[in-house]
């Protein structure tokens, strides 16, 4: 993906090969053949207050002009401004600081009014370093580098993680140890009253950590537990210790036993139906961390701090590295309850010898809804996050989706609920004319025939619009092999298979069987 960078100083070393750069403070060239844009404007070095403040104020006007010239379907990333050098003059009236603050407020205002504009707070990077580390006069005077080039590797890592978070590419599940991780001490030795959580240090540090994790869960991160303990002891601690914030109902699933943690994490992945590459494992014990790294290399395993007072900074890095996102949907906020409900469904299924009777007992409610302003963000989000049941694995932003709607595409999403809970919007289909561009569903709703019902109902809708033929394709990836034959199951005819195993399909809408089981309660709106 190519991106064009607007900048007011030398910054090339801080970005990858896919980035292209304009001249210093030059907006006369605005290329249209790139995939996106970056706005890098930092405090210029001027000694005259009036000129300095005026220049910063002018950057906002330049940015507004540029945004008017580019395609609104392309993401525009703007970094906030920070004073990265020691101000070489007395600024007793704080005019510089005020101008910087006004500029940054203007950026956030643009983000709220322009769907393609995303703001990255550069202070999340700059505040890691001292002023002497951030800025070097030698490099500035010789090459007009606005930041110390020695930091370019760190910046690249940080910035790309920010890009991923903007694209909604974050981890899904956090696996947590208990002893000396969520509380101080060892439950089996210290007892319910002896573990340290709340009160004075170090208990206060663990309390803050639990409170932070509780808020993280509200953004859609799934919390689970993997602990070597007696299960009843932990259940009693969750029930009786008054200071514990994260109790049993805070976790979508848990494994509390003496089995090795790699095996337990694999079981959690199976139970939740989540890929292991979506897991982050937190444990104070370096031996346990090494085991998981060796046995499950796809699981992310950050180093846990040695001292409890380091936990707030650890949590901040945890969010930045693995769980940062720029928008939260209603479905995100219900993730834990949704996955707990899935586990309950799996248990209920065992009570039925007949699968159809089991499905009938679920009272499945399916809502198929056309894309609109209220669901377009969620539709874009699931295109970014869904890998397994995704026929083409194309990624789109909400700006893209809005653009497709203006072009006349048929875009629908599906919501699924049953007696165990509401899964929210869990799938979408994007149709351009007579071709399915994208079809995907969350793993949470698979295995109940809902995916085929979805396709059949969409075909019904298309028939009312006069569509006679529908084309589709399957593009293979490492993760979507389970859907390689899905279109055949829906009655599509295989037309061609390329040497890259891309499959092309077609179906005559007049001849397809559109019947569905009566236990699906379907609403189309």
In whole numbers, what is the pLDDT of the chain averaged over residues?
A: 89
Question: What CATH number does domain 351-524 carry, 1.20.140.10, 3.40.50.300, 3.30.365.10, 3.40.630.30?
Answer: 3.40.630.30
Other Cβ atoms within 10 Å of 456 Cβ, number: 17
What residue ranges do the domains of the chain occupy? 3-166, 173-326, 351-524
Longest Cα separation, the chain: 82
* Separation CA 484–CA 473 (nearest Å): 10
Q: 496 burial class (0-12, 13-18, 19+ CB within 10 angstroms)?
A: exposed
With contact defined as beta carbons under 8 Å apart, do 123 and 80 qualify? yes
pLDDT of residue 251: 95
Q: How many Å from the N-terminal Cα to the C-terminal Cα in the chain?
A: 36
Strands, sheet with 493-497, edge to edge from the N-terminal-most edge strand: 493-497, 503-508, 469-474, 435-441, 421-432, 410-418, 365-370, 521-524
- The model carries a pTM of 0.52
Tokens of 242: 């008054």
Q: What is the pLDDT of residues 78-132, one digit of tens each?
A: 999 998 875 555 566 788 889 999 999 999 888 878 878 889 999 989 998 988 8
Query: How far is 165 from 322, CA to CA, in rounded Å?
Result: 8
Model confidence band, residue 334 (pLDDT cutoffs 50, 70, 90): low
Note whether 173-326 and 351-524 share their fold: no
Say which range, 74-78, 231-235, 295-299, 479-483, has the weakest mean pLDDT: 479-483
Task: Name the nearest CA neighbour of 495 among 471, 467, 520.
Answer: 471
153 confidence band (pLDDT: 50, 70, 90): very high
307's CB contacts (< 8 A; 6+ apart) are: none
Residue 263 burial by Cβ neighbours in a 10 Å radius (0-12, 13-18, 19+): middle
**CATH of 173-326 among 3.40.50.1000, 3.20.10.10, 3.40.50.10680, 3.30.70.20:** 3.40.50.1000
> Within 10 A of 367 (CB to CB), how many other CB atoms are there?
16
Contacts of 42 (CB under 8 A, 6+ apart): 8, 9, 81, 82, 84, 122, 146, 147
**What topology is assigned to 3-166 in CATH?**
Rossmann fold (3.40.50)
pLDDT band, residue 282 (cuts 50/70/90): very high
């Amino acid at each position: 993906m190519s991106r064009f960078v607007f900048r007011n100083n030398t910054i090339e070393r801080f970005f990858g090969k896919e980035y292209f750069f304009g001249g210093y403070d030059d907006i006369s060239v605005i290329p249209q053949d790139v995939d996106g844009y970056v706005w890098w404007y930092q405090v210029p070095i001027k000694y005259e207050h009036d000129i300095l403040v005026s220049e910063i104020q002018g950057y906002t006007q330049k940015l507004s002009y540029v945004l008017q010239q580019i395609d609104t379907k392309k993401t525009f990333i703007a970094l906030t401004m920070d004073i990265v050098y020691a101000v070489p003059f007395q600024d007793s009236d704080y005019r510089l600081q005020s101008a910087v603050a006004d500029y940054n407020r203007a950026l956030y205002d643009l983000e709220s009014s322009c769907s393609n504009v995303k703001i990255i707070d550069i202070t999340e990077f700059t505040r890691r370093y001292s002023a002497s580390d951030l800025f070097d006069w030698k490099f500035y005077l010789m090459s007009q580098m606005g930041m110390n080039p020695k930091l370019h590797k760190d910046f690249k890592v940080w910035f790309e993680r920010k890009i991923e978070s903007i694209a909604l590419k974050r981890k899904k599940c956090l696996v947590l140890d208990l002893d000396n991780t969520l509380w101080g001490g060892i439950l089996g030795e210290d007892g319910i009253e002896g573990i340290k959580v709340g009160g004075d240090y170090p208990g206060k540090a663990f309390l803050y950590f639990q409170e932070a994790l509780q808020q993280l869960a509200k953004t859609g991160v799934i919390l689970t537990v993997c602990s070597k303990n007696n299960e009843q002891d932990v259940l009693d601690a969750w029930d009786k210790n008054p200071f514990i914030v994260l109790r049993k109902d805070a976790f979508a699933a848990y494994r509390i036993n003496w089995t090795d943690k790699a095996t337990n994490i694999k079981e959690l992945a199976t139970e939740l139906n989540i890929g292991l590459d979506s897991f982050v494992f937190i444990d104070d014990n370096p031996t346990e961390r090494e085991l998981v790294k060796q046995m499950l290399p796809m699981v992310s395993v950050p180093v846990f701090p040695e001292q409890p007072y380091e936990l707030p900074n650890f949590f901040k890095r945890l969010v930045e590295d693995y769980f940062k996102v720029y928008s939260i949907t209603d479905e995100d906020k219900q993730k834990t309850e949704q996955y707990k409900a899935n586990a309950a469904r799996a248990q209920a299924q065992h009570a039925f010898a007949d699968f159809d009777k089991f499905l009938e007992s679920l009272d499945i409610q399916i809502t198929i809804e056309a894309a609109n302003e209220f669901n377009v963000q969620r539709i874009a989000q699931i295109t970014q996050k869904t890998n397994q049941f995704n026929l083409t694995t194309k990624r789109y932003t909400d700006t893209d989706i809005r653009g497709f709607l203006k072009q006349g595409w048929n875009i629908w999403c599906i919501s699924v609920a049953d007696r165990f809970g509401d899964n929210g919007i869990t799938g979408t289909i994007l149709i351009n004319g007579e071709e399915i561009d994208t079809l995907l569903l969350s793993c949470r709703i698979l295995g109940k025939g809902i995916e085929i019902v979805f396709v059949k109902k969409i075909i019904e809708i298309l028939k009312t619009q006069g569509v006679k033929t529908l084309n589709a394709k399957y593009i293979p990836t490492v993760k979507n092999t389970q859907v390689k034959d899905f279109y055949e199951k829906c009655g599509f005819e295989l037309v061609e298979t390329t040497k890259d195993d891309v499959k092309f399909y077609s179906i005559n809408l007049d001849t397809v069987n559109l019947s569905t089981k009566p236990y699906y309660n379907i609403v189309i709106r």
